[in-house]
Structure 1
Amino acid sequence: MEKLLEINNLYTSFYTHLGEVQAVRGVSIDVFKGEAIGIVGESGSGKSITMMSSMRLLADNGKIKDGTICFENSDLAKISEKEMESIRGNSMGMIFQDPMTSLNPVFTIGEQLIEPLIKHKKINKSEANKIAINMLKLVGIPSPEKRLSQYPHEFSGGMRQRAMIAMSLICNPKLIIADEPTTALDVTIQAQILELMKDLKSKFDMSIILITHDLGVVADLCDRIYVMYGGTIVESGNVEDIFYNARHPYTWGLLRSIPNPKDDVKEKLKPIEGTPPDLLKPPTGCPFAPRCEYAMKICVENPPEKFYTSDKHFSACWLNHSKAPKVEGFSVREV
């Protein structure tokens, strides 16, 4: 498979009056053509900042300190803003978390759909209008001709999210980044939006990066999953690896927080005790050690190595070491 996006050893920081917030620390992510990957973790784990770095949409006090972001033979971390503008919204699209704050309230949906077509595809307004109508039909918005002249506040939450998806797809990009696309929606609309994204992925043969805190959301859509915590990748593998052979205590905690409707015995969900690390002063060892019930001395003092159980599955946890004590329910393998 051909790589579409390759993020290698990315470091991103924000400079505040309190000091440097090291939001992303050595993250490496690969995305292949035609696949969907999920990036999961709690709020503040660095998921969105990693992708905002890739799109070069950081706040003024944010800076990519180190690393490469290779997309179609270009390092997005080093190209000019003008070159980035030709990629953003054209070859790479983004579905933002809250469409009401992402859509411009003073422009109609039609104007916001047509603008990238005129800018990137250099087509006239009449032709762009036809493409916009077809795209609204594609994402399941009824009466698209009428909807083009309406403003964002005239759409429901689910309809605004569909309009955002239409905007991200309008130039037929090769990669879509969906940042918590279903967070503000009820469960019925969530299911519809995820099914829509799945259908569009197949129809356009595009790649998708789905950012979420909910492992349940990625189960049906994604091929591979990256688990982030404290600005780092703590585990990565395909869906089967993460759901049935997770090797990191943080991943176990995320899995335990998902209710299983098929369980005969109703059990209380177990929260992950404690709070995420302060990235103004990141821990020297494993970032999850203060919250981990299995933490050892080495976890506090040294950052964990990557232990591979297969070519595609690794976990950054000292429990995978052959000399680590065995944990019940955690079968330590020679790696």
Structure 2
Amino acid sequence: AELVKIDPKSIGVGQYQHDVNQTGLAKTLQAVIEDCVNSVGVDVNTASPAILSYIAGLNKSIAQQIFDYRKENGRFDNRQALKNVPRLGERTFEQAAGFLRIQDGSEPLDASAVHPESYALVSKIVEAKATTVQDLIGNTEIIRQVNAEEFADEKFGLPTIQDVLSELEKPGRDPRPEFRTAKFREDITEVAQLTEGMQLEGVITNVTNFGAFVDVGVHQDGLVHISELANEFVADPHKVVKPGQIVQVRVLQVDTERNRVNLSMRPEGSEAPAKAPRQPRRDNAQTEARTERKPQAKRPQNTRPQGERPAAKKPQAAKPQEQKIGGLGALLLQAGIKGSK
């Protein structure tokens, strides 16, 4: 009832809540709160506007109207009185009435999760068993004798009848499991009072990759290293423990000066967990693969028969060289040609 007054994303839970999308976080947390509030139900005569606003069919404005009406006119005597609240129409009443409880009112069924639309069904069951509503509620012997199929019709199906009978058997049952808290020792309130080997009960406050932090009631969380979580090797602490879990721990070491406490969840005298075989590094494996020399294939030998010899290459004909004459030769040549003429 008090936590719903706080903006869900303002509640300090976890280390990385600001790393996710804030709009998505707010919507998801709000949906979870709505499921919780509607599963448990609220007492309309004591609920605050903050918790009423999470009821199906209601919003902050109508929740404030219910609170103001109750403040001016006193407590609601039955669910039908809710229709007198301004802006709370018939459609809203149908959606929200089953989640609003009225204790010690004029109608006994108003304290249960039975919707007002099913009150007529309960009246038929009461008449068939010749009893009263007060005597029927919580009477397991009578309720288990009721044959649900006999009351099924066009308006009330078999699943609805079974739900009504289940609610009548345990009216106002809180679906939440028993809430258990860690039992801190009353004589241990400071770190200096801890001694090695002391057995304590605590609650896990945070889980990290290297272990878990445990609150043992000394205003300083102690660390359970990953090697002290269990007798077997633990690769991921999140698979062994979770926040809010109640555990039995043993004090290993106390450092009063630095205000540090080392704890263990392993039984005293147990052997340390064996480490998992270390995998070879990938770069080393690649280096080894490169250094391994592959066997070279032998060159194919000449398979030509001994009697055969390669044909000799034919000598290429020498190109005729052009005579080169100088300038004097050219003049003599010209003079000879003119003399012959």
TM-score bucket of the superposed structures, by smaller chain = under 0.3
Q: Would you tell me which structure has more helix in proportion to its own residues?
A: 2
Q: Would you tell me which structure has more strand in proportion to its own residues?
A: 1
Please give the TM-score of this superposition, normalised by the length of structure 2: 0.25
- Which protein, 1 or 2, shows the higher relative CO under an 8 Å CA cutoff with sep ≥ 6? 1
Please give the TM-score of this superposition, normalised by the length of structure 1: 0.25
